[in-house]
Structure 1
Amino acid sequence: MKLLCHSHELSEGCSRSVDTPELDLFVVRREGQVYAYKNRCPHRHVRLEWQPDQFLDESASLIKCATHAALFLIESGECVAGPCAGQFLTAIDCREDSQGIWMSDDASEDDC
């Protein structure tokens, strides 16, 4: 397992960019659950954030693409508004324990 970040670095209702040698990712915490996605919009294949660590809309209830304002469900990565409606962000399998937030060793650019 590869450490993405320590748990205290990701507050409730917040997002955070995580760059690893293998992947450009971001993590989001919602209702105590952590979700990890590849930092790439399925529409234009660009990074999603508009400022460092800013992946969420104003209400912190949806992931928002800064390029064209597409909106994605945090829990599934499904695009629910915008030019890529019906498409999905690429989810990265992660888990959290007392040491931090981890992704599996076998996650790679080829998996995405």
Structure 2
Amino acid sequence: MNPLNHEPLLSLDSLADGALGEAQAVIDGEPESLVLHRAGDTVRAWLNVCPHAGRRLDWAPGQFLKSREGQLVCAAHGASFELEGGSCVAGPCRGDTLRAVAVEVRDGQVWLA
């Protein structure tokens, strides 16, 4: 857990290239679960909340579904999100977008930006 955001969210090496993972952070004063996606040396992050019904995207803590097309799939209702910008491309919230959280990689660690 990263309650005060004075620690990295995770090490880059702990998230395989192309993988999805979870981290905890305080966003706008509230503890939040984040979805992280690694693409090479770049990591993108979003709140772990589906815009359709406000439920978590993972089927178990930190366990995410990924389609054959490489999209994040909401475990609750099957909405699919592309991993460049978090846009919903299929399912009940098509056209909505996951809430992005700015992160950066420094010295092999992923930090809130």
TM-score, length-normalised on structure 1?
Answer: 0.83
After superposition, give the CA deviation of every residue in 1:81-102 in whole Å (9 maximum; x if it has no partner): 0000000000000111224001
Inter-partner Cα distance in structure 2 for 1:32 and 1:99: 9
Inter-partner Cα distance in structure 2 for 1:14 and 1:86: 24
Q: 1:90 aligns with which of 76, 99, 102?
A: 99
Identity %: 34
Runs of 4+ in structure 1 deviating by more than 6 angstroms, as ranges, are none
Confirm or deny that 1:19 pairs with 2:21.
no
Alpha carbons 1:14, 1:56 under 8 Å: kept:
no
1:54 is matched with 63
Q: 1:43 aligns with which of 52, 56, 80?
A: 52
Across the aligned residues of Structure 1 and Structure 2, the Cα RMSD in angstroms comes to 1.8
After superposition, give the CA deviation of every residue in 1:14-50 in whole Å (9 maximum; x if it has no partner): 1111122432112111244211010000001000011
Count of aligned residue pairs for this structure pair: 104
Inter-partner Cα distance in structure 2 for 1:60 and 1:81: 12
Inter-partner Cα distance in structure 2 for 1:52 and 1:96: 23
Q: Name whichever structure is richer in strand by fraction.
A: 2
Q: 1:77 aligns with which of 73, 82, 86?
A: 86
Alpha carbons 1:49, 1:55 under 8 Å: kept:
yes
Inter-partner Cα distance in structure 2 for 1:95 and 1:32: 10
Unaligned runs of 5+ in 1: 105-112
TM-score, length-normalised on structure 2?
Answer: 0.82
